[in-house]
Structure 1
Amino acid sequence: MSDYREVETTEHEQGREQRVATFKVTQLIWLLLGILEALIALRVVFKLIGVNAANPFASLLYNVTEIFVAPFASLIGAPAAGGMVLEISSILAMFIYLLIGWALERIVYVLFYRPRGPVSVRQTTIAEHTPQQAPPGVSQTTTTDRITTQAPTGTSQTTTTERTNTPPDSR
């Protein structure tokens, strides 16, 4: 007696691709915001501990972050002692960029996110059995299609179709 069984499951959900794209865009916004916040925070720490501005790394960091800190530079004075400076304007810039990034992420989410819709799951089972009483070479194939549709509310509807195929007698 030989048995063969194959199960194939496919799932389809409307709007899934758009939800994935929205998720990726919002994650990209958070990533870019995190990089900008880290660079400005590093600038604040470098200025606070008095890092040599002639150092190539410090110079690069100051030049890159200057573009983002410049609009806030003249809002608040920067207390200084010796070579150390507390750039309150940079801290203010970090806070404002955080608010802008959060608002941008929320706008993308609200405009493009689609709630989860009904999920359609199709499961096809193919089973081939050779009955014990059947002559050699005669087999029976049973194919079962089960389609389940599940709504977001938790309700589901299942449709099952079963077909049995026995090859014609080859005498």
Structure 2
Amino acid sequence: MNKEIDREFERAVFAGGCFWCMVKPFKQWDGIQDVVSGYMGGHTDNPTYEDVKNGDSGHLEVVEITYDPAVFPYEKLLDIFWQQIDPTDAEGQFQDRGHSYSTAIFHFTDEQRVIAEQSKENLSASGMFSKPIVTPIRPAETFYPAEEYHQDYYSKEKEHYEKDRAQSGRDDFIEKNWSN
């Protein structure tokens, strides 16, 4: 007899600049149920991409990750997050400038907040960066999924995605700072 296992999934939300570049690094792992591009942290209900990009909504581009913590713990999500961004840049990420492209960790629980704060302290104490770590840790708010054409952009528009990512400076930064 096949009995389906009940799993308790949790959610994590990270802002790491352009959300196109933040999906693939998370989606490839066992224990990750889904990664959805979207918006969080602003003052406009149901924002559009144009509202967010123009800075009219106050939202950041984010990814919402649904994961099985028994298979893929929150600490590992944070490790991946830090390795995708420049945590010392408060004005955006790489070629994408402005508030909507800034970084943040949004927590849903006190446990996530504590783990995120410890992770940030550990990164700061590591001496990897000569400038302060400025990525804020904020309470999660309403998540608004982005328009369908933004979902899984890395696989739908592979050539454009790879060209944009290469030109952004993100990959060079990751290689320089995180390749051991």
Shorter-chain TM band: under 0.3
TM-score (ref. length: structure 1): 0.24
TM-score (ref. length: structure 2): 0.23
Structure having the larger proportion of residues in helix: 1
Q: Rg: which structure is higher?
A: 1
Structure having the larger proportion of residues in strand: 1
